[in-house]
Chains A and B, each alone.
Chain A
């Protein structure tokens, strides 16, 4: 064997000719079902996430169509509740999280100079659990009892009244958890063990840093979610009393356990977004990231704080006053490291020679609009105010600002940024920009009015509403339809880039881009770095930072 690293073969017949390794495996099943290659698995994750994005998106369209006018017109209230529940579960666990794992798979080995992920076989399994898990989750919509309808937070006692489909939901969540835990273990082992010589921790790109911290969050909280839904399962089917006061339990206990998972979960969805934006802004501002080390510490502090603020989701359940106060102040603390990040992104752009290609547009859109979501979060953190805002559309507006023009915009930004690297072709800049502007405008038409609806008292998760809310709901729905439709442009741009585009991408793609992924060809070789690359000031973005 003259190759630089060794390969094993499952199929004995291949063992004789190992020189095959440079070629992709032949045959559709061989390539996609059995793959151990980080890029192929990354592609699978990304395609799956996009499919789920449109599945969850279709449900959002049903929700917005029903809410277009007051009164019940399109769907039954119970089905409406199934739509809100499934929309959230699918977007959180099926779209945003797998999309980030897809980015991790594609980029981390290339960014740290590794041949592949540390545990390639397990990598395959992490992905291939997901289609089964979501088939199981979606199948509940076809069952007699319908899908879950108590909201993605699955609060008992309501969720326990769910009928036969409930067990399927619980086991689907277990499978998603197993997938996430294995995925995170792989990310941690890859980052800690597979860096090229000289790639010290404080030279790593921020995307790698944010994912490392995200992975720790995931292995800490996904098992807790698994435990929580297991207790729901036994309360429902086996007569336990965890969440039943008559037996000495407490439904509020579920909320504590759920949000111990749930709050870190929202950071799981946003930290990799911080990472991607921290890659893109320096490239198009043509300046190194301002305050690299501060960014790393800010990310770590956000992650730490995310474990001790969970009950800000529970200000109205009747906690002791000291609890309310503690969780209020602790939550507000998060604004400090978050502010550090926003400050650093803005400072990176300050006096840079900026250009506004599509990834940069999405990144700037992220900074501006995510900040709106952060500020409404701060308003919600004020206990006294949250007594009014809780469970209204103000909360809906808050989390959609951080998640849609937040996480999802960062995903789009990353996709445009690295598409030329992945495919070897340039995407259509014109259509990318059209996609950005329609999305950025419509997302605000969609979610901004929801702030007013919430402040005026419109409750969330309700299919009908009082007529005073009619105008803003109609505006919001129109924005929703435009936003939904404009995402088809994104699919068009991707398909064009992959199959039609003739404009070849150079290795560096963007003149201002720094980092190891850019010293590889576009598309990169099937196995990223067969020999570890040389780490110096010309190859990594933060070479000067480690003193």
Chain B
């Protein structure tokens, strides 16, 4: 087979994984929808759906990895994968852009308007008299009660350093791979994985502190909403990225990837840089300013 593949585009011939994925997705999201409506069995449906999705990913990606290692993918297939990953990351950027948009809108428009700025004078006068619009705020009705915020130059700053250095380590791993230094590859990858999980751990600790000591919750008005939505989705992406890095590290230990051919590695590295950049935006606009 292999000698035929160099100039031909590989078209797979039927696959069961997508339909498995759809079943997993509907079970998980249907479960989630029942869950938020307080049906007692719903969390189980959610969990089963998630397991089906994980099974699908193992099966699907496993098959792709086997085909890749068997040399079935020529340069053109490789380009398709690259484009796929690039535009997927772009769609993720737009997803975060939506929540950043909500943050900027609240800080630049809705909160000042409630405080009487611009055309909001009568809103302030008639509905929310005496509301003084300063950020952070839980809104004129102080929803969720008083809260304190997490100072930027504590854990968040440490987390910034962690993510930035993990960007460096993953690049070092890439250089090692290109020079075929297998040991360097594995070690730098493991370092990246470790940094990723330390980040997630610190983030969890920070959430605990917010809820238990600072009175800052998802219900703390617009500040709590934007804070947890942005950092929460980011944290989910870091977790996912760290799991992807783990898989890549294990594959590296098994001898996968070649100095000139390692799309799987690069896709994960791109993804990791993406969560890194999103964090920089978060650090600046959620914590510092």
Q: Chain A residues with Cβ under 8 A from B129's Cβ? A: none
User: Does B44 sit within 8 A of A, measured CB to CB?
Assistant: no
- Pair A6/B80 contact, Cβ less than 8 Å: no
Q: How far is the CA of A34 from the CA of B225 in the complex (A)?
A: 42
CA distance A164 to B30 in the complex (A): 12
- Whole-angstrom distance between the alpha carbons of A222 and B98 in the complex? 10
Q: Which of B85-93, B208-216, B249-257 contacts A (4 or more CB under 8 A)?
A: B85-93
CA distance A115 to B226 in the complex (A): 46
| Binding stretch for chain B, among A168-176, A201-209, A278-286, A434-442 | A168-176
A193 x B14 contact (CB < 8 A):
no
* CB pair A247 B225 closer than 8 Å: yes
Q: A35 within 8 Å of B by Cβ?
A: yes
**Is A305 located at the chain interface by the 8 A CB criterion?**
no
Whether the pair B114, A248 counts as a contact (CB closer than 8 A) is: yes
CA distance A164 to B18 in the complex (A): 29
Residues of A within 8 A of B76 (CB): 193-194
Which of A8-16, A61-69, A287-295, A356-364 binds B?
A8-16
Please, which residues of chain B bring their CB within 8 A of the CB of A544? none
B190 proximal to A (CB < 8 A):
no
Partner of A224, one of B94, B143, B229: B94
Q: Does B32 contact A (CB under 8 A)?
A: yes
Report yes or no: A248 in contact with B12, Cβ–Cβ below 8 A: no
Please choose the segment from B99-107, B165-173, B197-205 that sits at the chain A interface, where 4 or more of its residues have CB less than 8 A away: B99-107
Asked if A245 and B22 sit within 8 Å, CB to CB, the answer is no
Q: Does B138 contact A (CB under 8 A)?
A: yes
Are A6 and B72 closer than 8 Å at their CB atoms? yes
Is A378 on the interface with B (CB-CB < 8 A)? no
B119 touches A320 (CB 8 A): yes
Assess whether A5 is in contact with B9, with CB atoms less than 8 Å apart. yes
The answer, yes or no, to whether A129 is at the interface (CB within 8 Å) is: yes
Chain A residues within 8 Å of B228, by CB: 240
Which residues of A are found within 8 Å of B223, using beta-carbon distances?
Answer: 248
Q: Which residue of A lies closest to B38 (CB)?
A: A164
Residues of chain A with a CB closer than 8 A to B90's CB = 219-220
Q: Check B105–A253 contact: CB distance below 8 A.
A: yes
The answer on a CB contact under 8 Å between B67 and A8 is yes
Shortest distance from the beta carbon of A272 to any chain B beta carbon, whole Å? 18
Question: Is A328 positioned at the interface, with any CB of B under 8 Å from its CB?
Answer: no
Summarize B's interface: helix, strand, loop or mixed.
helix
From B84, B97, B137, B219, contact of A189 by CB (8 A): B84
* Interface segment, one of A98-106, A231-239, A382-390, A399-407: A231-239
Contact A189-B83, Cβ < 8 Å, known A128-B19, A167-B37: yes
State which residues 398-417 of A face B: CB under 8 Å. none
Total B residues in contact with A, Cβ cutoff 8 Å: 75
A129: which B residues are within 8 A, CB to CB? Answer: 22, 25
Give the complex CA separation of A201 and B13 in angstroms.
29
Contact of A247 among B81, B99, B222 (CB under 8 A): B222
> Are A9 and B84 interface neighbours, CB within 8 A?
no
- Indicate if the CB atoms of A14 and B119 lie closer than 8 Å: no
Q: Chain B residue with minimal CB distance to A124?
A: B18
Q: In chain A, residues 71-110, which have Cβ atoms closer than 8 Å to a Cβ of chain B?
A: none
Contacts of A190 in B (CB 8 A): 80
Which residues of chain B have C-beta atoms less than 8 A from A227's C-beta?
95, 98-99, 102
A245 with B12: CB separation less than 8 A: no
CB-based contact A167/B225 at 8 Å: no
Tell me the minimal C-beta distance from A86 to chain B in angstroms: 17
- Chain A contacts for B41, CB-based, 8 A: none
By the criterion CB–CB under 8 Å, are B19 and A247 in contact? no
By a CB distance below 8 angstroms, the chain A residues around B94 are 219-221, 223-224
| Contact yes or no, A188 B87, CB < 8 A | yes
| Residue A244, interface by CB 8 Å | yes
Q: Does A300 contact B (CB under 8 A)?
A: no
How near does chain A come to B242, taking the closest CB pair, in angstroms?
22
Q: Is B36 an interface residue (CB 8 A)?
A: yes
Once A224-B97, A240-B229, A253-B102 are accepted as A-B contacts, the answer to whether A181 and B91 lie under 8 Å apart by CB is yes
Is B83 in contact with A249, judged by CB distance below 8 angstroms? no
The contact string, 1 if C-beta is below 8 Å from chain B, for chain A 179-204, is: 00100111011101110000000000
State the CA gap A235–B219 with chains docked (Å). Answer: 9
> CA separation between A5 and B30, bound complex, in Å?
40
Question: A247 with B139: in contact, given A10-B12, A119-B84, A188-B87 (CB under 8 Å)?
Answer: yes
The reply on A500 being an interface residue by CB < 8 A is no
Interface membership of B40, Cβ < 8 A: no
Q: Is the CB of B1 within 8 A of A1?
A: yes
Q: Are A240 and B224 in contact (CB under 8 A)?
A: yes
Interface centre among B8, B18, B25 (most CB of A within 10 A): B18
A248 x B118 contact (CB < 8 A): no
Contact of B36 among A122, A167, A184 (CB under 8 A): A167
User: In the complex, how many angstroms separate the beta carbon of A229 from the nearest chain B beta carbon?
Assistant: 10
Q: How far is the CB of A222 from chain B (nearest CB, A)?
A: 7
- CB of B105 within 8 A of CB of A250, answer yes
Known contacts A119-B84, A223-B92, A246-B143, A8 near B105 by CB under 8 Å = no
Chain A, residue nearest B123 (CB): A245
Report B107-146 CB contacts with A as 1/0, cut-off 8 Å. 0011101100011000000010000000001111101100
What residue in chain B is nearest A221 (Cβ atoms)? B94
CA distance A135 to B27 in the complex (A): 12
Contact B140 A250 (CB under 8 A): no
**Given A8-B10, A188-B83, CB of A132 within 8 Å of CB of B15:** no
* B63 contacts A by Cβ under 8 Å: yes
- A194 / chain B contacts, CB cutoff of 8 Å: 9, 76, 80
Check if B207 is an interface residue, CB within 8 A of chain A: no
CB distance from B31 to the nearest CB of A (A): 10
Q: Which of A25, A132, A240, A527 makes the CB contact (< 8 A) with B14?
A: A25
**Complex formed: what's the CA distance from A250 to B10 in Å?**
51
A265 at interface by CB-CB < 8 Å: no
B residues in contact with A30, CB < 8 Å: 14
Contact B95 A248 (CB under 8 A): no
A168 to B, closest residue via Cβ: B33
Bound together, the chains give a CA A352 to CA B78 distance in angstroms of 45
Complex-state Cα separation, A10 to B92, whole angstroms: 30
**Residue contacts A-B, CB under 8 angstroms, 27 given:** A5-B8, A6-B8, A21-B13, A114-B9, A119-B81, A121-B12, A121-B17, A121-B18, A122-B18, A125-B17, A125-B18, A125-B22, A128-B18, A174-B29, A181-B91, A186-B84, A189-B79, A193-B76, A223-B94, A231-B102, A234-B229, A238-B218, A240-B218, A240-B225, A249-B106, A253-B102, A320-B119
What 5 new A-B contacts, CB under 8 Å, besides A227-B99, A241-B219, A246-B141? A25-B14, A124-B15, A124-B18, A239-B219, A248-B111
Q: Lowest 10 A-B CB distances belong to which pairs?
A: A227-B98, A248-B139, A125-B18, A248-B222, A250-B110, A240-B225, A246-B141, A247-B139, A247-B221, A239-B219
Interface residues of A (CB under 8 A from B): 1, 4-11, 14, 21, 25, 30, 33-36, 114-116, 118-122, 124-125, 128-129, 131-132, 135-136, 164, 167-168, 170-171, 174-175, 178, 181, 184-186, 188-190, 192-194, 219-224, 226-228, 230-231, 233-235, 237-242, 244-250, 252-253, 256-257, 260, 318, 320, 527
